[in-house]
Structure 1
Amino acid sequence: MQHSHEVRAELREPALALRTLIPDVLRGYGEMSRAAMAPGELSSATKELLALAIAITRECDGCIVSHTRSAVRAGVTRQGIAEVAGVAIMMNGGPGTVWGPRALRCYDEAVADILKGERSS
């Protein structure tokens, strides 16, 4: 995986183009995502960690970047990201040892962005 900044930059234009072509689908997806990730019995942080574990096992760069950055905004620590990577490794075996560290790198980049005053979205 590239650095999280490169993944986000790579996906930005095609995502905007797709949004113009199928706005109702992506609007509906956004509404579903907001509803699914809203705090309830489970906190937003817990839900982001669940999504991150799934992203690692699905080997989805964009998902790892998105959910790691959202986890940072929800207050998840570096240790929390590492423990989720451990669960993903347990569930996914060898590929988890490749994709889990990528989530940890995304965490470090997101925290660095926050410390530099950049947006963490």
Structure 2
Amino acid sequence: MGHGHAVQEELREPARALRRAIPEVYDGYRQMHAAAYAAGALDEKTKELMALAIAVSKECDGCIASHARGAVRTGATEAEVAEALGVAIAMNGGPGTVYGPRAFAAYREFAAEGELQPG
């Protein structure tokens, strides 16, 4: 199991427990998330690439795993992910060179699964 899957697995049960404890908060977040990621002037893929770059900036492994998977799901290519991460590195310096490769590895991990490839 790669790092992306390990992070998601580690967070799965604690997230479920918290979601059960504060369902209104999670429902509000789900609604906001759906609205923010819906295709509009920017398509879903572009928004996932933005989110992945922001996840690197925030140094959030859970966010990286989620948005790496989202990038695969929306059809982002390895080259597109690499360029988005290049911008994250440019904006973040040294920390970007740590979390950028984590994000790239997570993208490649989820892309290798095949069933997430658009089709």
* Shorter-normalised TM range: over 0.9
**What is the Cα deviation at residue 44 of structure 1?**
0.3
List structure 1 segments (4+ residues) > 4 angstroms apart after TM superposition: none
SS in 1 for 2:112: helix
User: Which structure 2 residue ranges, 5 or more long, are not aligned?
Assistant: none
Q: Secondary structure at the match of 1:113?
A: coil
Instruction: State the partner residue of 1:106.
Output: 106
List per-residue Cα deviations over 1:48-86 (Å, max 9, x = no partner): 111111100100000001011011110101111111110
Q: Per chain length, whose mean CA-contact separation is higher, i.e. which structure has more relative contact order (CA < 8 Å, sep 6+)? A: 2
Query: Where does residue 14 of structure 1 map in the other structure?
Result: 14
Q: Which consecutive residues of structure 1, in runs of 5 or more, have no partner in the other structure?
A: none
Match of 2:69 in 1: 69
TM-score w.r.t. structure 1 length? 0.91
TM-score of the pair, normalised by structure 2: 0.93
Counterpart Cα distance in 2 of 1:55 and 1:4: 13
- Total equivalences in the alignment: 116
Q: How much identity, in percent, do the aligned residues show?
A: 58
